[in-house]
Amino acid sequence: MREFQPDLSCYVGDKANVIPWGVGIVNLDEYPVPDLVIEVSNSFLSDDLGEKRLLYEDLQVSEYWVIDVQNVRAIAFAIENGGSRRISVSQVLAGLKIEILTEALQRSRKNNHTEVGAWLMKQFNQ
């Protein structure tokens, strides 16, 4: 059985519309695995970096991010050839620097979401 419940999963590019509108539970026997899976880790960071990462490696998700709430940072992994390696630039979201995500998280601790969103848009447009 291939089952998982990430905090967020994304289909990108050619697969962006592969899941029909209204599908609540994605059956991986019918549909491909997501390109990007994100876990928000507030208290079980070792589980997200360990056992869950192994699960996403087995499922052959292209990229896996962990949002470390306690340390206010994003940790990203590219998954390929049955394993994973840490990355500083997203391969799924072409050219997105993971440090930008970390900075946005840190800014969200001091600024409201509108200000952080505006800052992010400025970064994306550079």
pLDDT tens digit sequence for 96-123 = 999 999 999 999 999 999 999 999 999 9
Residue the block writes with tokens 């390109």: 35
Domain count, the chain: 1
Question: Could you tell me if residue 3 is inside a domain?
Answer: no
Question: Could you tell me if residue 59 is inside a domain?
Answer: yes
Residue 3: the pLDDT is 67
Question: Could you tell me if residue 32 is inside a domain?
Answer: yes
26: containing domain: 8-94
Residues 6+ apart with CB under 8 A from 9: 26, 34, 36, 37, 38
Model confidence over 24-57: pLDDT tens digits?
A: 888 888 999 999 999 999 988 999 999 999 999 9
Question: Could you tell me if residue 113 is inside a domain?
Answer: no
Q: Check residue 33 and report its DSSP letter.
A: P
CB 44 within 8 A of CB 52: no
Question: Could you tell me if residue 26 is inside a domain?
Answer: yes
pTM for the whole structure: 0.89
Which two structure tokens, joined as six digits, stand for 38? 């994100």
Question: Could you tell me if residue 2 is inside a domain?
Answer: no
Question: Could you tell me if residue 86 is inside a domain?
Answer: yes
Nearest Cα to 41, choosing from 13, 17, 8?
Answer: 8
Taken in order 88, 45, 2, 38, the sign of the CA dihedral is: negative
Model confidence over 54-103: pLDDT tens digits?
A: 999 999 999 999 999 999 999 999 999 989 999 999 999 988 999 999 99
- Looking at the DSSP bridge assignments, the partners of residue 73 are 68
Question: Could you tell me if residue 88 is inside a domain?
Answer: yes
Residues 6+ apart with CB under 8 A from 79: 56, 57, 60, 61, 62, 63, 64
d(CA 65, CA 1): 23
